[in-house]
Structure 1
């Protein structure tokens, strides 16, 4: 016999099934990642239409059958509608959903991944935070939660904890000034090192409380790009769109957060 349970979670993805139904992927606090059917979700006027859209966060009442879940009711506390108003923010948000989907598993404790996802989407909505930095914080903390993060606290060759001036993707972490000269490694700025150590050790609620200079952010981006290319075996669709969009945005003087031209802002004031 099946039973009805209430799960707290976020919709990671949704695909149409048949004429009116949907199948959604939920990241939940209680059951990890699950797949569930939503009957008549695509029927005009359905109360479940908005509740089964990506980014929707809240409580979902589901019927647990022998081999599948069916969503009966959804009480959404945050739809993250602000993300949909800006293509750049939306692309970052969908990338975060994809990365969470990649790592999450059913019947595992995903409370930290869910909390990180929620806080990171909120960070994308903040004007004061650069989306590029939010992305790197999210990526590194995701690796921490899933036990695949690099060692940035000592030299992987000699164990030294000082003068960690190099990062080796192949070795999976930092090398000191002497050991880093012996093989392929990326120069590691002291501020970049501190930022990575802070992200790894800090509580999720305290992650998005700092900014980085362009130079340090570029150093962090280079390190994370190389590390993820080796240790994450998937191409993310949203990331491809994001990178294409970034290439276009680089040639246009547009604010990433608002999507408005600077001159237009001045005229409106």
Structure 2
């Protein structure tokens, strides 16, 4: 009897192999990151042609082989790559896929990451918020899901929860005004920035894209998150290079 499994997931990468096939990497709720082969997916008449594109989200039925899976059918509900309104949104979405791939592990349930990826793609495709804010939300929350993120709740020196207004890049923590001494005005963090970062860390994923911030707050958020990521993630993301040109 042929063993098949049906999973909810998103195509996070797709590579052409042989003359007509594709090698897909799927991020799935149940099995984490898995490799699956879509036979004949490069043919113009293939039922897998559209669903084997990155950012395709839906239900995949797979035959479980000895070393990999083979796609037997797919029911795609969202083609996010087709919904992106501009090239910046497309590359931002590709960056999210690369980051999800970086953290994805085979056999480890990835429901939270998949939900975050889905909501982020939806926010991008519908222009719900500024692209850079969507990026900040995705980056910080995927760090949270994987148990590593800057401390934005207490002073890293005394433990105080109030008067946090400086980010200590070396120790990845906020510092209160009583502990950091005199610092340049340009390095003082707004209360609104602290609140926004705390909201991203603690709120349900379904509510993450329900707020907006000023340009000043957004720049401060980007500064804190980018410094943390550059310090802790050693991979080069190709799509990020385009976004930062």
TM-score range, shorter chain: over 0.9
Find the counterpart in structure 1 of residue 116 from structure 2: 116
Structure 1 residues 89, 181: closer, same or farther in 2, change over 3 A?
Answer: same
Q: Find the aligned partners of 1:35 and 1:240 in 2 and give their Cα distance.
A: 26
Alignment of 1:230-241 (within 5 A): 230-241=231-242
- The structure richer in strand per residue is 2
The alpha-carbon deviation at position 43 of structure 1 amounts to 1.6
Structure 2 contact 128–209 (Cα < 8 Å) conserved? no
How far did residue 127 of structure 1 move? 3.3
Per-residue CA deviation, residues 32-58 of structure 1 (Å, 9 max, x unaligned), is 000111111112211111111001000
CA distance in 1, matches of 2:126, 2:42: 32
List, as ranges, runs of 4+ consecutive aligned residues in structure 1 with deviation greater than 6 Å. Answer: 182-185
Structure 2 unaligned spans of 5+: none
2:226 aligns to what?
225
Cα displacement (A) at 1:125: 2.2
Aligned to 2:146: 146
Is there any run of 5+ residues in structure 1 with no aligned partner, and where? 245-269
CA shift, 1:128, in A, is 4.3
Question: What TM-score does the superposition give when structure 2 sets the normalisation length?
Answer: 0.95
Q: Distance in 2 between matches of 1:95 and 1:236?
A: 7
Match of 1:207 in 2: 208
TM-score of the superposed pair, with normalisation by structure 1: 0.86
The whole-number CA distance in structure 2 between the counterparts of 1:179 and 1:70 is: 58
1:93-132 matches, within 5 Å, as 93-132=93-132
Give the match's secondary structure for 1:179: coil
Alignment deviations for residues 170-204 of structure 1 (CA, whole Å, 9 cap, x no partner): 21221111322389995321110000000000000
State whether residues 32 and 108 of structure 1, in contact with CA within 8 Å, keep that contact through their aligned partners in structure 2.
Answer: yes
Provide the aligned length of Structure 1 versus Structure 2: 243
